[in-house]
Structure formats: C-alpha cells, structure tokens
Amino acid sequence: MKTIELTIDDKPVVVEEGTSVFDAARMSGISIPVLCHAQNERPIGVCRVCTVDCGDKVLQASCVRPAENGMKVFTASDKVKKHRKMVLELLMSDHPSPCARQRVSGDCELETQAAAEGIVTPRFSKRVSPRGQDDSSLVISVDHEACILCDRCIRGCDEIRQNHVLGRRGKGYNAGISFDLNRPMGNSSCVSCGECMVSCPTGALTNKSIIRTVLPGGEPVGVEELKQLPFFQKVSGTFLELNKNAVIKRHFKKGEVICREGDYGSTAFYILEGQVDIFLASMSSKQAVAQEAPSLIEMFSNIFSPKKKPTSGSRTGSIPIDATVDLPLDNPVAQLGAGDIFGEMTCMSLYPRSATVRAKTDCVMLEMLRNVLDVIQRNKTLRAEIEKNYRKRALEDHLRTVPLFASLSPDFIEDLAHQVELVRYSRGEVLTRQGEQARNFFLVRIGFVKMVEDHAGGELVLAYQGKGGYFGEIGLINRGTYAFTVTALDNVEVVRIGVDAFNKMLERFPEIAASLRAVATEREAHNRRHSAAVSAMSLEKFLNQGLMEANSLLVIDLEKCTRCDQCVRACSDAHDGVTRLVREGLRFDKYLVPTSCRHCRDPLCMIGCPVGSIRRRNSLETVIEDWCVGCGLCARNCPFGNITMHELPGTTTQKAAVTKKKATACDLCQDLPEPSCVYACPHDAAKRVDPNDFFKEIIGAGTLKAPALDSGAHGGKR
C-alpha cells in the first residue's frame, strides 16, 4: 500500500493512504475524544467532538477526514479546545445529568468528557425531548432526553445484529431515534438482544437489570451454560450477566407440586427434562363432593337446575389454561414435556395461576422472571421452535376449543398449520380497527383483548376475549371491513389466519360457514340494538351511579316492595343455598338497585380470568362456569361489588388441593324461564330491565327525581 507522511501536534506520522486523521492519531498514541463511534465501528462524523484543525478553512471531524501527504494537524490548539468545549456544552444542555447510566455505573461517555472540560452547569436553556421516557420494553429503558443522536445504536442493530429495527425519525427539533415506524420499543419488532444498549454512550438506552432479585429454591445458571441452550444463543451476554439471578434451574421430584391454581405468581417455567401433569384440583374436588353427597347435589339439580341446554358461544369441550394445551372438560388433566413452556400469562401480565402443575417424573426446569421471558419470546430461534411445536401439537386442540370448528378434519388442520401465524401484541396495541378492510381471522392464544364499537356518543364495549376467543369473521364473511376495534389489554398472542386460508375453510366445510354466518348475524344484530339503546338517551343521568354500564339491571320498585325477602330466598333456593342477591344498594328515583350482577356492557370482571371461567354468552349475559379456580380476581375487578366468593363444601385429599372458594354472581337463572327473584316477588316489585329502555321515557319526560342514596334499610353507599 502507498504510504503518506503528515504531522499531528508536531509529531511525524506515517500511515497508509486512505487512513482517517482520527485513526492516524490513535495509531500514533494521540488521543482524540469522540462520541459517535467506538473502536472498530464505522465512523460517521455526527457528534463533531473529534474536530481537529487540518489547515482547512473550517475545522474538520477527524473520523471522516482522510489524512493527506504533508498535512499538519492540531488536535489540542486553543481554537480546537474552544470548539470542542462548546459542542460538549451544547450536548450537555439537553442532557439529564446524571443520566441513568451515570447514576448506575458512572461511565456515561458524554458526562465523563464534559467533566474533563470543566463543564458543570451549561449556560444554555434545556430543550426537552418531545418523546421523553419510553418504558414499554421489559428489558431496555429508553430515555430520549439522554439521546445525543450519535446513531451508534442504529449501527449496532443494523450492521452487527442485522435486526433492522432502529432508525432516524423527524428533522431538526423533532429528530430522534425510532423503533420500526416510530413505535414504542416494547411494541416494536425488537428482539431485545441488547446490542443497542451496549453501543449507547449515554443513558439513553440502559438495561432494566433485576440484579437484586434472587428466585428462591433453585440454583444459579451461568451465562455460558445458558448460551449453550438454542433459545439463548443470540441473547446479549451482557444482558444475561446483569440479570443472572432472574433465571434459575430448578429440580422437582416425582409427585412434587410446582404451582397451584389460583395462586399469584410472576414467573414462567421452561421444561428441560421430564414430564408434568397439569390439572384443575378444583374440578377434582367438585367430583369428590358429588360422590360423597349425591342426594343433596341431585336434589338441587333436579328441582332448580334442569338439564342445561348448550348456549351459543360456550366452550363445550375444553378449559383454556396458561400453557400450550387445553384441559378436556370431562377430565381436566393433560401432560407437558421437555421443550414446553407454562405460566406465560402469569409471568407477563401477573395473572393468577390457571392450573395446578405436578411433576409426573423427576423434572429439571428453568424458572424465569418476565424480562427474561420477554427476551426469549422475542428470540427468533425460540419463536421458530414455539411456532413449530404449536403447529405440531396444539393448533388442533386450540381450534377445537371453538365449537364451531369441531368438524374440521385432521388433514385440513395439518394443511392449515403451514398457513397460520403466531403474532404478539403489547398492551394497548390495536389488532383490528373498525372500518379497515378485513384481511385476517384471529384466535386468541394468550392474554385478553377488548372489542369495542365506535359510535357518535363514544365507544361501546362489546366483549372481552381470552384464550379460545375469536374475531374478524364478520368482515371476512361479508367481504368488507372490520365491524369493531380490537385492542390488546395485556401481552397478547394470537393465531392469525389469512383471508385465503379462511375462505378455503368455508368452501370445504359449509357447515362451519353456515355457523359462522349465523354467529356473525347474531353479533351484528346485538351490536345494532345496543348502539341504538346507547344513543337513544342521555347517559349523563347515570354517570354518578354507573347504571349506564348495565346490560340487565335488577330494580325493585320501593312503592310496591313490602320487604318480605322472597326474592332473596328464591335466589338462594335456586343456587344450592348460596344467594347471588343482597337487597341493599343504590337508589335511583323510587327504585332500589340491589347488589346483584348487572351483566355490564363493559364487564371488567372478565379481564384476567386465568381459566376463562367467567365469560359472556352472545346475549351479553355474564356467567361463571364450574371450573372457576377461586382466585378472586373477578370479584376485585367488579366496580360494583356484585361478585362474591363462597366456601366450597369440599374435603382435602392427598393428591389434590381443594379450592377453598368459588366466585358467584347472578346468572339470570339461565336454565329457568325467568330469574327466580323476579318470579318469586308477590307484588311485581322486582324486575330485570335494560336501564336504557326502562328509564328512557321518564328521563325524556323530565319527571325523574334527582338520584339519591338510600341510607335506610336498603343500604347506603358502598
């Protein structure tokens, strides 16, 4: 190679032609400060901290200025020092000092260089970033105010990892880094490899380490050992080292219980070796009770609960749980083995455990906290393995949790397995938007989504869907647009089936097409009726007491009521001695609104049920199924206190833990012609009504008295 000679700070230097001034100085032992690139990184000259005097009309960034023969370079003249100090002071004026990196490790490159120049308090006013903090990622904290636009994170993401998630967005004051098309980091396609965090010279991208958290009862797992596992091979070693206590290896003996249904947890398990049984102990206890006292059970069943008719939308074959399998309703037991994950929903969204897991053989597992689970879920190798296992073992079971798809043939499901996608959404992300062209059919695999319909007066919550729920069929069947907006309530994973595969299914299985069209027609009719009801009257009258939330409201006319309590006794008799009605509550005009489920239009009680035991019929009535695990989450979520927990009369066995409580709420006596409380009232004082229709005339006529609270025998404010 041809060489050139130049002087740097009066020191003769010989380098190869094409070498930058910055590299020529570094190779000669002369240090030039820089922020926008590190050693062995491609220089781009954006920070201007490495500016030197090369004899040109203006100062030059040494990292992009090629050295020339006979050039005289000065790296520390008064002119250069003054310029460099000004650049650092301008950068510091926008920088939150100390930033997160400086607070934790004291090695923020910007603040270190500023301190060396004697910059303590910049003279210039601070510019606040329009983006501020981004805390959406479980692994990396983003502080846009600490970003200096050096682009080191972008080069690390693109050139080192080839993930191509990061880029520049905006101009001038609004310039900054962005993830995908300017999405929050946690909602982007970022795989949390940590390369951007390692590359960042400031506290703009820092690790959310949980170094102080030590999971009990296990042994630590070394970084090298984790890196040998396929799904950790592409995870940043720095991330694993900083969070080495957030994942442990646990050994379980045959017969040992790993977790129990209804308990709250914050971890997930990945089975390395062995096999486990996963089951509902509460269902086992109910079967045991029926065997011990059949006459009592049969008596109430025969008198008050005639044989149930299957309801539209009910799950007749299985119970959804927080694992890669569902439990058969008649025998709620399944097995998981090496390569399976369970507890994802509990870990990511802090929901109660959905089932009891017991070691069927001696087992070895990894137990991990949510930021580690998030990393491996985003890892492309593991995602491919999860999708492969799902298509091979779980897709058929998942489809069959929807009764409409029970007739799908095995060969069609096998063909469909190659066309479906597993797609993840973060909390708040929109899956479908009302009015957009329908292109996909969705099945919920993990988490919960909210389905709302937009109208002139606001939005109407149509339903919450958990595992086994589905949507998108209305738009596809009608070859039109999505009928409502669907939003992720937490970390959600869905099975996405494209329009071509969906249409092929309808052509091959006409009975499914007919069933879906019937469901779509029923849903559309209900949506129209409820939209009309909401827009037909002013909702302001109901805001203080929340009555506008009710889909079916129990009201008692106090001018007719004699306080005989026949309604309460009838409710108790119809539900095995456990009443779902308390004759206390709020008053609206001359009507008492007792404590009884309102079957809300926005049923918050459904959010988070770990086994999907609380659900909606297509008539928008809320029911609680027998497989409730008694976690109490629905009772805590109900804003009106209309769900209660009652003791089960079960006994503890050696093999199964008996659930102590079960959630109960008014089910509108779905097996009887009308609710028992209404039927038993001797004075026609008790009624189940749609509040929009019931109160519409008196509100419109202006004869309604001001809402009042009854502080007497019917209860005060709850």
pLDDT digits (tens, 9 = 90+) for 289-319: 333 333 333 333 333 333 333 333 334 467 7
Nearest to 317 by CA among 658, 623, 616, 625: 625
Instruction: Name the token pair of 650.
Output: 């079960």
Mean pLDDT lowest for which of 242-246, 376-380, 528-532, 609-613? 528-532
C-alpha span between 221 and 270 (Å, rounded): 14
Q: Quick one: average pLDDT of 483-501?
A: 86
Q: Quick one: average pLDDT of 335-358?
A: 84
> Strand order of the sheet with strand 133-134?
133-134, 140-143, 205-207
Vertex 439: Cα angle to 459 and 603 (nearest 5): 30
- Flag whether pLDDT at 242 surpasses 90: no
Nearest to 308 by CA among 564, 15, 671, 628: 671
Q: What is the pLDDT of residue 544?
A: 46
- With 0-12 / 13-18 / 19 or more C-beta atoms within 10 angstroms meaning exposed / middle / buried, residue 448 is buried
Q: What is the pLDDT of residue 705?
A: 45
Nearest to 77 by CA among 92, 55, 57: 55
* 644-665 residue pLDDT tens: 787 765 544 444 445 467 888 8
Q: Quick one: average pLDDT of 194-221?
A: 77
Q: What is the pLDDT of residue 59?
A: 92
If one compares 217 and 684, the residue with the highest pLDDT of the two is: 684
Percent of the chain whose predicted confidence (pLDDT) is above 90: 12
C-alpha span between 700 and 696 (Å, rounded): 6
C-alpha span between 680 and 545 (Å, rounded): 27
Residue showing tokens 């390692």: 198
Sequence-ordered list of residues with C-beta below 8 angstroms from that of 312, at least 6 positions apart, any chain:
519, 522, 617, 618
Q: What is the pLDDT of residue 254?
A: 94
Q: Quick one: average pLDDT of 605-614?
A: 73
Vertex 584: Cα angle to 668 and 578 (nearest 5): 50
Per DSSP, the residues of 132-163 read -EE---SSEEEEGGG-----HHHHIIIIIS--
Q: What is the pLDDT of residue 304?
A: 31
Handedness of CA 311, 313, 314, 318 (dihedral sign): positive
Which 3 state secondary structure label does DSSP give 625?
A: coil
- With 0-12 / 13-18 / 19 or more C-beta atoms within 10 angstroms meaning exposed / middle / buried, residue 302 is exposed
Q: What is the pLDDT of residue 471?
A: 87
Nearest to 650 by CA among 215, 236, 293, 127: 293
- How would residue 73 be classed by pLDDT, with cut points 50, 70 and 90? very high
Q: What is the pLDDT of residue 526?
A: 65
Residue 342 has phi, psi (to 5 degrees) of -135, 155
C-alpha span between 453 and 459 (Å, rounded): 5
- Flag whether pLDDT at 45 surpasses 90: no
C-alpha span between 461 and 622 (Å, rounded): 14
Contact (Cβ atoms closer than 8 angstroms) between residue 21 and residue 56: no
Sequence-ordered list of residues with C-beta below 8 angstroms from that of 57, at least 6 positions apart, any chain:
none
If one compares 369 and 539, the residue with the highest pLDDT of the two is: 369
C-alpha span between 242 and 219 (Å, rounded): 16
Strand partners, 450: 464, 487
- Flag whether pLDDT at 537 surpasses 70: no
Q: What is the pLDDT of residue 560?
A: 84
- How would residue 666 be classed by pLDDT, with cut points 50, 70 and 90? confident
- Flag whether pLDDT at 82 surpasses 50: yes
- Flag whether pLDDT at 496 surpasses 70: yes
- How would residue 79 be classed by pLDDT, with cut points 50, 70 and 90? very high
- How would residue 545 be classed by pLDDT, with cut points 50, 70 and 90? low
What average pLDDT does the structure give for the chain? 77
* 625-648 residue pLDDT tens: 777 878 888 888 787 777 878 776
Strand partners, 458: 455
- Flag whether pLDDT at 208 surpasses 90: no
Q: What is the pLDDT of residue 401?
A: 63
- How would residue 256 be classed by pLDDT, with cut points 50, 70 and 90? very high
CA–chain centroid gap for 447, Å, is 6
Contact (Cβ atoms closer than 8 angstroms) between residue 322 and residue 345: yes
Mean pLDDT lowest for which of 279-283, 532-536, 612-616? 532-536
Handedness of CA 215, 278, 617, 640 (dihedral sign): negative
Alpha-carbon distance values, 578 to 419, 645, 646, 670 (Å): 48, 10, 8, 16
Residue 455 has phi, psi (to 5 degrees) of -150, 180
Assign 3-class secondary structure to 76-130: CCHHHHHHHHHHHHHHHHCCCCCCHHHHHCCCCHHHHHHHHCCCCCCCCCCCCCC
- How would residue 277 be classed by pLDDT, with cut points 50, 70 and 90? very high
Handedness of CA 278, 283, 287, 293 (dihedral sign): positive
* 385-417 residue pLDDT tens: 667 766 666 676 667 666 667 677 777 777 777
Q: What is the pLDDT of residue 647?
A: 74
DSSP 251: E
Longest dimension (CA), the chain: 110
Mean pLDDT lowest for which of 52-56, 268-272, 287-291, 542-546? 287-291
C-alpha span between 581 and 584 (Å, rounded): 9
Contact (Cβ atoms closer than 8 angstroms) between residue 145 and residue 128: yes
CA–chain centroid gap for 189, Å, is 15
Residue showing tokens 């137990």: 367
Which 3 state secondary structure label does DSSP give 177?
A: strand
Instruction: Name the token pair of 543.
Output: 């805001």
Q: What is the pLDDT of residue 294?
A: 36
**Domains identified in the chain and CATH numbers:** 3-76 (3.10.20.740), 100-207 (3.30.70.20), 247-403 (2.60.120.10), 410-534 (2.60.120.10), 540-701 (3.30.70.20)
- How would residue 195 be classed by pLDDT, with cut points 50, 70 and 90? confident
- How would residue 209 be classed by pLDDT, with cut points 50, 70 and 90? low
Sequence-ordered list of residues with C-beta below 8 angstroms from that of 104, at least 6 positions apart, any chain:
206
Which 3 state secondary structure label does DSSP give 302?
A: helix
Q: What is the pLDDT of residue 538?
A: 42
Q: What is the pLDDT of residue 393?
A: 63
C-alpha span between 463 and 474 (Å, rounded): 15
Handedness of CA 627, 633, 639, 645 (dihedral sign): positive
- Flag whether pLDDT at 509 surpasses 90: no
Q: Quick one: average pLDDT of 477-488?
A: 86
C-alpha span between 690 and 692 (Å, rounded): 6
- The answer, as to whether pTM is greater than 0.75, is no
- Flag whether pLDDT at 583 surpasses 80: no
Which 3 state secondary structure label does DSSP give 16?
A: strand
- Flag whether pLDDT at 697 surpasses 60: no
Instruction: Name the token pair of 20.
Output: 């930058």
Q: Quick one: average pLDDT of 51-60?
A: 90
End-to-end CA distance of the chain: 86
C-alpha span between 265 and 351 (Å, rounded): 7
Q: How many CA atoms lie within 13 A of 635 on its CB side?
A: 16
Instruction: Name the token pair of 505.
Output: 């299914």
Percent of the chain whose predicted confidence (pLDDT) is above 70: 77
DSSP 684: S
Q: What is the pLDDT of residue 403?
A: 64
